[in-house]
């Protein structure tokens, strides 16, 4: 029977044999060869292997340099809002600008809609006069003004890069294009024409007119009697005449001037041919009635060479529409004093924090608030403390203010489902709940509904879309409900009621 040894005993025996063999081969050729084969490579002492896992200690590691932000120009206006996540990439001078200014190019990792929403809300609530703005959330151009500062902010649409076409520079911006980076530019110009500057300052210039008295001294400076002849420098009294406007400085008189209803003399607009054809007759009738006013918000219009411009396709702001709304109602119902809206006096407590008594349109805006026709704390809306007079008028604002003057009674209760069933709007859920009631009541006016007259047939109401001046005029062409009302065309043949109340044709009661 064979004897079995454990594996540990066998391994120990094998190790002893190998040690004995190596000892026997010491100092022999076989032993030296075996030692060299198992020893370290001597070449590695002079040429150490490259460190593939880390940087070499003798060579500095190359690290990517972060792009430094360009310093902000010294004349960059503090009034311009700055997007927090935006970095200034480039600054360029402006050529042929009306005043000092620059073009600044910015980049941000945020998407277009976030940047656009930030500037839209900031401009509307920051006292800026919005002359133009994008119609959607996919980029566009803001043109705003504040005092003597003109700002153009351009956000390229998706898939496009570059700077504003309004900038005049020969070199393109050295900004890296990246699909995940939004690049936009801000151009600012100070034209020196501050809308709040006081004009009576030229009255302080009679001093240069006194210099001729010094110029007369070289003629006969030795005669002290001739300085009495500066009876001629009394002509600067004409230059001092601008001091006369200081007489109406009391705020009560200044604020009371806008309270007077305009004479209603029609303006001779030179661009009514640019009004959309379907709205042209409505705008023409209101212009003849003296309701419409020239566009004074855009400095590019109403120059002497262009004549009086109505600018029908420009956006109308909230203060302009409030003024037109009251004027149109009162002129169309010129023979019905009981249906007219009263202008607010300059002693009335302001309903809005941003429309003080000194505002030129205070009598109109405050008058609408006093009548309960626009949301305000007076009507129980404690959140409507700001009117935002220079913000664009939206479609839902137009309906919310106008329809109560059509129905002359409380608006009906409304729901999203009810408006969907009547108008069929796909975006009914986007309409403000307060405006839903006006939209539903307007449907009951049939073919005389404001929505049908202004926007035609549509299944998208787009409640937040800005209204043009032509659209606002078309909405104000008719006041009334269910056939009982009056149009601007009929009002052209009416005369204010005086001693002959029967002289008003078609006196249809609407209250």
Q: What are 5-62's pLDDT values in tens digits?
A: 566 666 766 666 666 665 665 566 655 665 666 555 555 555 555 544 444 444 444 4
Please state, as a whole number, how many other Cβ atoms lie within 10 Å of the Cβ of residue 426: 12
- Residue 511 within a domain: no
What is the Cα–Cα distance from 401 to 396, expressed in whole angstroms? Answer: 9
> Over 60: is that where the pLDDT of 498 sits?
no
Interval 323-340 mean pLDDT: 95
3-state SS class at 74 = coil
Interval 174-187 mean pLDDT: 72
Between vectors from CA 126 to CA 122 and to CA 132, what angle results, nearest 5°?
65
Comparing 37-41, 247-251, 302-306, 419-423, the range with the smallest average pLDDT is 247-251
Contact assessment for residue 227 and residue 254, using Cβ atoms and an 8 Å cutoff: no
> Over 90: is that where the pLDDT of 306 sits?
no
pLDDT tens-digit readout, 232-255 = 444 444 444 444 443 433 333 333
| pLDDT tier for residue 217 given thresholds of 50, 70 and 90 | very low
- Residue 65 within a domain: no
Count of structural domains, the chain: 2
What is the percent of the chain with per-residue pLDDT over 70, rounded to a whole number? 62
Contact assessment for residue 192 and residue 172, using Cβ atoms and an 8 Å cutoff: no
> Over 70: is that where the pLDDT of 71 sits?
yes
**Helical H segments across 39-165, by residue range:** 43-46, 112-125
- Residue 509 within a domain: no
Q: What is the pLDDT of residue 120?
A: 86
Q: What is the pLDDT of residue 496?
A: 54
- Residue 428 within a domain: yes
Comparing 102-106, 126-130, 370-374, the range with the smallest average pLDDT is 126-130
| pLDDT tier for residue 206 given thresholds of 50, 70 and 90 | very low
> Over 50: is that where the pLDDT of 260 sits?
no
What is the Cβ-side half-sphere exposure of residue 374, based on CA atoms within 13 angstroms?
26
Comparing 21-25, 174-178, 270-274, 501-505, the range with the smallest average pLDDT is 501-505
Q: What is the pLDDT of residue 99?
A: 75
Question: Residue 101 belongs to what domain range?
Answer: 87-190
The CATH number covering residue 155 comes to 3.30.310.80
What is the Cα–Cα distance from 415 to 436, expressed in whole angstroms? Answer: 7
> Over 90: is that where the pLDDT of 508 sits?
no
| pLDDT tier for residue 157 given thresholds of 50, 70 and 90 | confident
- Residue 232 within a domain: no
Please state, as a whole number, how many other Cβ atoms lie within 10 Å of the Cβ of residue 371: 16
Comparing 118-132, 300-314, 373-387, the range with the smallest average pLDDT is 300-314
Comparing 5-9, 154-158, 252-256, 421-425, the range with the smallest average pLDDT is 252-256
What is the Cα–Cα distance from 122 to 299, expressed in whole angstroms? Answer: 22
- Residue 289 within a domain: no
Comparing 46-55, 99-108, 447-456, 481-490, the range with the smallest average pLDDT is 46-55
Domain finish residue from 448, 465, 482: 465
Comparing 23-32, 91-100, 145-154, the range with the smallest average pLDDT is 23-32
Which tokens go with 340? 């007219």
Interval 84-100 mean pLDDT: 84
pLDDT tens-digit readout, 270-285 = 889 999 999 999 999 9
Regarding predicted confidence, which is higher, 465 or 214?
465
Contact assessment for residue 198 and residue 147, using Cβ atoms and an 8 Å cutoff: no
Strand (E) or helix (H) holding 209: helix 206-216
Which tokens go with 345? 């006096």
17-21, 346-350, 381-385: which is most confident: 346-350
Comparing 115-124, 153-162, 167-176, 271-280, the range with the smallest average pLDDT is 167-176
Q: What is the pLDDT of residue 135?
A: 78
Instruction: For strands 129-132 and 101-108, give the pairing.
Output: unpaired
Domain finish residue from 190, 222, 247: 190
Our measurement of the distance from residue 4's CA atom to the centroid of its chain's CA atoms, rounded to an integer in Å, reads 98
Domain finish residue from 160, 190, 220: 190
Reference 389, options 397, 399, 381; nearest CA is 397
What is the Cα–Cα distance from 418 to 411, expressed in whole angstroms? Answer: 14
Q: What is the pLDDT of residue 100?
A: 84
What is the Cα–Cα distance from 438 to 414, expressed in whole angstroms? Answer: 9
> Over 50: is that where the pLDDT of 220 sits?
no
Average pLDDT value for the chain: 75
- Residue 405 within a domain: yes
Interval 95-122 mean pLDDT: 86
3-state SS class at 202 = helix
Q: What is the pLDDT of residue 164?
A: 44
Comparing 178-182, 213-217, 380-384, 446-450, the range with the smallest average pLDDT is 213-217
- Residue 131 within a domain: yes
């Amino acid at each position: 029977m064979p004897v079995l040894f454990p594996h540990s005993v066998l391994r120990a025996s094998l190790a002893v044999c190998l040690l004995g063999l190596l000892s026997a081969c010491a100092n022999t050729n076989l032993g030296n060869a075996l030692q060299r084969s198992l020893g370290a490579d001597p070449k590695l002492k002079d040429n150490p292997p490259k460190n593939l896992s880390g940087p070499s200690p003798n060579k500095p590691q190359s690290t990517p340099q972060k792009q430094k932000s360009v310093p902000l120009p010294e004349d960059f206006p503090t009034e311009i809002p700055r997007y927090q996540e935006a970095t200034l990439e480039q600054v360029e001078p402006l050529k042929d600008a009306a005043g000092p200014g620059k073009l600044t190019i910015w980049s941000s990792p945020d998407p277009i809609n976030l940047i656009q929403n930030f500037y839209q809300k900031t401009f509307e609530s920051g006292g800026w006069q919005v002359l133009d703005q994008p119609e959607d959330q996919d980029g566009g151009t803001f043109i705003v003004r504040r005092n003597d500062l003109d700002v153009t902010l351009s956000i390229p649409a998706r898939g496009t890069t570059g700077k504003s076409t309004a900038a005049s520079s020969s070199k393109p911006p050295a900004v890296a294009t990246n699909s995940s980076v939004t690049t936009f530019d801000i151009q600012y110009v100070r034209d020196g024409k501050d809308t709040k500057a006081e004009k009576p300052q030229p009255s302080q210039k009679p001093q240069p007119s006194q210099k001729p008295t010094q110029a007369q001294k070289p003629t006969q400076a030795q005669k002290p009697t001739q300085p009495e002849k500066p009876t001629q420098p009394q002509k600067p009294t004409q230059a001092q005449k601008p001091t006369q406007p200081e007489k109406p400085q009391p705020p009560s008189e200044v604020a009371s001037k806008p309270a007077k209803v305009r004479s209603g003399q029609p303006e001779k607009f030179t661009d009514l041919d640019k009004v959309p054809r379907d709205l042209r007759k409505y705008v023409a009738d209101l212009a003849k009635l003296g309701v419409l006013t020239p566009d004074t918000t855009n400095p590019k219009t109403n120059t002497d060479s262009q004549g009086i411009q109505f600018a029908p396709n420009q956006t109308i702001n909230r203060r302009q529409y409030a003024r037109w709304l009251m004027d149109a109602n009162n002129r169309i119902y010129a023979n019905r004093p009981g249906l007219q809206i009263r202008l607010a006096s300059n002693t009335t407590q302001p309903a809005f924090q941003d429309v003080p008594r000194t505002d030129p349109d205070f009598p109109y805006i405050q008058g609408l608030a006093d009548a309960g026709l626009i949301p305000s704390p007076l009507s129980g809306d404690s959140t409507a403390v700001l009117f935002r007079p220079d913000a664009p008028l939206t479609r839902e604002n137009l309906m919310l203010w106008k329809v109560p003057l059509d129905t002359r009674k409380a608006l009906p209760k409304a729901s999203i489902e009810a408006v969907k069933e009547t108008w069929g709007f796909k975006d009914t859920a986007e309409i403000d709940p307060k405006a839903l009631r006006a939209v539903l009541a307007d449907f009951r006016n049939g073919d005389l509904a404001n929505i049908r007259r202004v926007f035609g047939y549509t299944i998208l109401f787009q409640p937040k879309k800005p209204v043009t001046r032509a659209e606002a005029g078309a909405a104000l062409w008719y006041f009334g409900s269910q056939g009982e009302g009056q149009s601007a065309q009929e009002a052209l043949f009416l005369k204010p009621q005086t001693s002959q109340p029967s002289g008003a044709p078609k006196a249809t009661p609407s209250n």
